[in-house]
Structure formats: C-alpha cells, structure tokens
Structure 1
Amino acid sequence: MRRITTMRLSMGLLMLIVASTAAPAAGNAPRDMITPAALYDLAENATVEILVDGRLDGSGWFASADGLVVTAGHVVVGRTDHRIEIISPAAGRKIAKFVAIDRGHDLALLRVEKDDKPFPFLKVADAMPAPGQDVWLFAAANFRHKLMLRGSVARRNSTYEYFSNNRQYTNVYHVSAPSPPGTSGGCWLDQRGRVVGNQSAFMTVNGAGAGIAMLSPPGAIAHLIQSQKTVATTTTQCAFEELWTQPVGYIANYPPGSAGLVPVLIQAEGAAAKAGLSDQMIITAVDDQLVAYVDELLTVLRRKKPGDKVTFTVLKLDGSGQAQITIELEALDATRN
C-alpha cells in the first residue's frame, strides 16, 4: 500500500526547497479575491498552534468568535484527557477543552474560554475550489511558526485514504503541495480567505514526501462546527486494495477481466476477521452493488451506522467460486486509535 503519514511532530533532517510564486493574471481574478499578503494577515490572526502536555503537536484555527477551534482529529485522539492548550496571536496561551471528534474526516473540535473581545475567526467555504485552483495552507511546519504554503487542488471529488498508523479510512481531498510534519490541523484557504479544508496527512513514497497533501472536506468541517457533537464512523477493521494494484501473479489466480477489492491489514479479532474475510479472496459486490474501486465500497459503508450489517459477495482464491460474507459494522473508537 502507499504510505499515508499523519503528522505528529518529530525532529529530523529537513530539506528546504525554495519555490517561486507567481501571482494569477488580474483578468482571471474573482472580484473579492484578496492578495496573498492580505491572506497571510487574515490567517495569522485567526490560527493557533496546539500544545499537548506542553509540546507543540499540531496546528488549528478559530472557527467562531466565542472560542471554537478546529484541528486534526489525530492530534488529540487518545489524548483528550491530557492537557491541551492553544497559542494564538489574538488569545495568547489558553487551555482548550475537547468538544467533539469526527474520525471519518480526521477532525476535532476544541473550545477555549471566551475573552472580553471576540476571537478573530475564519469562515468555511461551501465547496472545494475546482481542480487547478490555488489554495494556501497556514500552519506551523516542523516547529517553524506561521508559515503559508501554496498548493493547487489536484482532484475534483473527495476520496478515501487508509491511514495505517491510525487504522482508519478518512475522507479527504487531494492537493498538490508540500505539507510537512506539524501542519496537521492547519487551515487551507481559498483566494477569498475562506476555509476549504483542514490539513490531515500527506503521501510518502519510500519515506519521502510525494507532494500530495490530504485535507478534510469543507462540508464535514461545517457540520462539526454546527453540531458540536462527535460523529460515529463505521469500520470493518481492515483495509482494501483494488485488484489491479496487486502483483501480476496474484491477479492471474482469478478469471481474466476480474475486478474487485482485496481485504488487507485485517485486525485480529476485528469485524472483518470474525466474519471470515481474508486476503485469499476478492470482494466483487457489497449489498449486491458491484464494486471495483475502494471509493465505491467505502461510500456504501459510510452510509451505514455502527451495528448495521453489510453483505460482501466474494470470489475465493482457492477456486471454490463465489460466496457471501455478512459483517456487522463496528464504530471507530472516538477516544483512541
């Protein structure tokens, strides 16, 4: 599988790459687009750095004037009972209380005590910009404070990525951009200064960054801010890989033209293991709906609730033909990995 790295900070070698930034042509600019310098000022005032037990462990931003703060779920999951603080140009250093989490989108909501003055906050956009549009990440990167990094939207629709270190699927958008460790929870802004995503993870190949950032969708961010309630997320407690990504020798075990999903990283005593799923079969349908792509399967699963049952049609490697396996979906633990 591709390695997906969620960004809990660690010190190490850092390669600095200088990139030029050319301003977009004025004739193509939206009327309410603000300059990159003004965008920086807006983000600097409304963003925070997250401390867990006194250590800088991620980034975040004010989502309301009364102290709601958004960060990445993996920054605080498993540590919601620890001392969590924010540092902000507007608020100084304050204790932050855990409010809610959405593990399916790697989002967490915190709250800090209100000041006499309202906190500067960022508004959430209705949708992700079109592919190729510029977006900016504002965050602390590898203990470097107040950095603004430029990227471009790399995909029209959101997709599902399996974060192996958190053992979960997360629904994300892809952006072509650097996203170093420490930027987790940072806000991605469009040219109008609206939040279009929350930094979640980045792709690595053989341990090196591949230049693809992954961010939580704006709709999920807006929902968590509005509801202020933890979102239950279903899981089969395994991952899936598309058949055509497997070695040729493995693919040859199935009839020509076969398509489906191979269960992998099956957790011992998890829902998938208990039901009998293994990597010696491919899933060809879920609830009688044909599936060949991971997104097709995860879209069905995420429409269900923990405790619901789902039926996989599988084709076994041993030549015994098709079978059906029913799994009772579990809930991702909201407090630990």
Structure 2
Amino acid sequence: MRHWGVVGHAVLAMALVTGLATACTSSPPDQISADQSVGGSLERQYTDVVNKVLPSIVEIQSPAGTGSGVVFDSDGHIVTNAHVVGRESRFSVRLSTGTQQLPATLVSSYPPDDLAVIKIEGGSNLRPARFGRSADLQVGDIVMAMGAPLGLEASVTDGIVSAVGRTVPEPPSEDSPGTVLRQAIQTSAPINPGNSGGALVSLDSQVIGIPTLAATLPQLGGTAPGIGFALPSDLVTDLATQIVANGRVVNSHRASLGASVQTVTDPDGKPIGVGIVAVQAGGPAATAGLQPGDVITAIDGNAVTDVITLQAVLAQHEPGDTVQVTVLRTGGAVTVPVVLGEQPAA
C-alpha cells in the first residue's frame, strides 16, 4: 500500500505542476499563430532545400565499400572523399533520383586533403550542385547533411555550424594514409559511415562543405554524437577545379618543410619528436641548414612530439610563412628560422 501511496502522490504532484505550468506559460492566440508561422516557414525552407539539392547527391559503391558524392558539373564529374575511393579506380554510382547504376572511373585522388574526383560514364540529365562560399559561414548557421549513411541513399539530417577553421587529424585506415584536415567545418549534423563525400548544405541550397569524418570516443569504441567535420567548399572547389582541368592537383596551397620525416620514440616507446630522414635539395629545410639526423621538438615554441603533430602545425600555416624550428642534434638544441615552401601536388 505504501508503494501505491507514493505513486498516487507523485501523479497528483505532477498534475498540479502541469496545471501550474500550463497556466504560467500559456500564450496569446496571436503569439501562437506567429510561432506556428515561423515554424511552418522553416519547414518549407527545409523541404525546398532538399528538393533542390538532393538530386545532386549520389551513392558511390566499390569493393572498398559505400560512400557519397556530389555532382560537380554537367560533364559527369563527381566530387567525394579520397578515403571513399581508396585504392579503387572503378565505381558504380547511383543517383538519388533513381535506381540505375552508372559506371564511373577515377580522375584523381588527393589524400593530403582527403578529396577525390570520379567521372560518370554516359551519364545524362545530371544536376550539378551549387557550391557556396564557406568563408561566409558563421557559427550557428543551420546546415543539412545529405548522403548515403550506412547505405541508406538520399538521407538528410540537420544541425548547425558549431565552429569553423578547425585543424583536425584524420587517422590512417586500410584505404587512407591519414592526414590533417585544414580549415575544417565542425557541425552538429549527424555524420555516419557512408555520409563521407556527400554534401553539407546551407539554407540557401548551396553546398558549403563535404562531410568527411566524425569525432570518435576511443574509450567507448564509437563516435561522439553531434561532432562531425566537413571539408570547406572553398577548398573543395579549388582542388576539384584543378583536377578537372589538369587531371590532378597542381597547386596544393599546403605549407611544407621540404623534408622526409618520421616519429622518434624513447626506449619506452613514447614519442619525443620528429626525426628528419632526408631533405629536399634547395628546399626550405635544406636552405635553413636542417639536416638528416636532426630531431624536431618544437615549432614556434610549441612542442612537436610526432608526425601528426607536425602536420597539424603546418596545416595552420601558408607557404611563405616563417617559423622557428627547434631541433636536437649532436651538441644540443638549436632553433633556426625556416621559410616554409609548398607541399608538392599530386
């Protein structure tokens, strides 16, 4: 009986609180009408964006798996992630507007920025996406992610721009050497396996990013909800245009030391720096006096413990920037200025 008494009081209390809340928060009819109007307007915007952009989204299938892509032009070029194409050169592409599978071949892949372009063979009536300027994005902008997560083609999710200009390490995988994404867009729109290579879309029906990866929680063995990253459209259109015109990236815009490097560890296996294996003749490192055997431990006073850390630091710079590089060599630590060069294109 005591158990039921507690439940009865709880129900009564909840009813009283509910009644009080209703009395305190009830809105005038005109305000309710205005709220419904705003909600209806946003809903219509969503529907309009989906109707305009979804026909430009494709599903890409290969022996390596399934991913997404965006129609780049009327000639059949499709932009996607490099890790979606992996080591494959032939693909099957399905438009979101039908079930027909179209053959496609690789034009070029550029793993340093995780971008690739493939081309549909014999495609017609393609609807190229409109690409916007990612430089104009603001935190809080509403965005929609479109793609084929988990093989569910023509799927749409939504969220906001959580941050811009992120530098994000992308771990290596079986089909990708790993890299550091530069100027990435962080979004709360869910990004799941299969979303990679699809579109992050503004309410202006413009593609402003290419969803690429989701943050992971190693301790839980899964992704972190609401934290995903996309390549910015300004970078995507630049590199894709180069690939379409030249068959490859010819100008990477990525800063480089002009040296081959590897992570150095102590006797316990702990990373302690980045060892220079070789330097490019006449390159930035060689010109500054760096040499094979030097171990880079800091750049501009910030610790560098492994290759990924070095890549992250360089991703925040432009070719032509001068950085202070601290290295360990016989005789102690030395800090030298290095004028960064440009990473060779694919």
Q: What range describes the TM-score normalised by the shorter chain of this pair? A: 0.5 to 0.7
CA distance in 2, matches of 1:321, 1:191: 53
Match of 2:178 in 1: 167
Secondary structure of 2:153's aligned partner: strand
AA matched with 2:153:
H
Alignment of 1:16-55 (within 5 A): 35-53=45-63
Question: 2:236 is matched with which residue: 199, 221, 233?
Answer: 221
CA distance in 2, matches of 1:303, 1:330: 5
Greater CA drift, 269-278 or 195-204: 269-278
Q: Spell out, residue by residue over 1:304-323, the C-alpha distance to the aligned partner (whole angstroms, 9 max, x if none).
A: 6xxxx987521659994433
Does the CA-based 8 Å contact 1:202-1:214 persist in structure 2? Answer: yes
Quick one: structure 1 residues 146 and 277, their matched pair in 2 at CA, closer, same or farther if it must change by over 3 Å?
A: farther
AA matched with 2:222:
A
AA matched with 2:104:
A
CA RMSD in angstroms, aligned pairs only: 4.1
CA distance in 2, matches of 1:186, 1:226: 17
Match of 1:118 in 2: 125
AA matched with 1:167:
G
TM-score, L = length of structure 2: 0.64
Match of 2:88 in 1: 79
Between Structure 1 and Structure 2, the one with more helix by share is 2
Match of 2:298 in 1: 282
Match of 2:222 in 1: 208
Secondary structure of 1:154's aligned partner: strand
Does the CA-based 8 Å contact 1:103-1:170 persist in structure 2? Answer: no
Question: How far did residue 180 of structure 1 move?
Answer: 1.1
Question: 1:181 is matched with which residue: 181, 193, 197?
Answer: 193
Question: How far did residue 213 of structure 1 move?
Answer: 1.0
Q: Spell out, residue by residue over 1:158-191, the C-alpha distance to the aligned partner (whole angstroms, 9 max, x if none).
A: 2322223023222222112321111110100000
Q: Spell out, residue by residue over 1:38-75, the C-alpha distance to the aligned partner (whole angstroms, 9 max, x if none).
A: 3223333221111113x642111212222111111111
Does the CA-based 8 Å contact 2:82-2:111 persist in structure 1? Answer: yes
Quick one: structure 1 residues 312 and 184, their matched pair in 2 at CA, closer, same or farther if it must change by over 3 Å?
A: same
Does the CA-based 8 Å contact 1:163-1:169 persist in structure 2? Answer: yes
Query: Structure 1: any 5+ residue segments left out of the alignment?
Result: 1-24, 241-249, 251-261, 287-291
Does the CA-based 8 Å contact 1:86-1:95 persist in structure 2? Answer: yes
Match of 1:324 in 2: 336
Return the index of the structure with the highest Cα Rg: 2
CA distance in 2, matches of 1:37, 1:160: 32
CA distance in 2, matches of 1:26, 1:133: 21
Quick one: structure 1 residues 58 and 332, their matched pair in 2 at CA, closer, same or farther if it must change by over 3 Å?
A: farther
CA distance in 2, matches of 1:323, 1:267: 15
Q: Does 1:196 align with 2:211?
A: no
Q: Spell out, residue by residue over 1:240-272, the C-alpha distance to the aligned partner (whole angstroms, 9 max, x if none).
A: 9xxxxxxxxx9xxxxxxxxxxx975x5895769
Match of 1:68 in 2: 77
Q: Spell out, residue by residue over 1:101-129, the C-alpha distance to the aligned partner (whole angstroms, 9 max, x if none).
A: 343432111111344x4312210002352
AA matched with 1:124:
F
TM-score, L = length of structure 1: 0.66
Secondary structure of 1:142's aligned partner: helix
Question: How far did residue 79 of structure 1 move?
Answer: 2.4
AA matched with 1:140:
A
Secondary structure of 1:100's aligned partner: strand
CA distance in 1, matches of 2:334, 2:38: 55
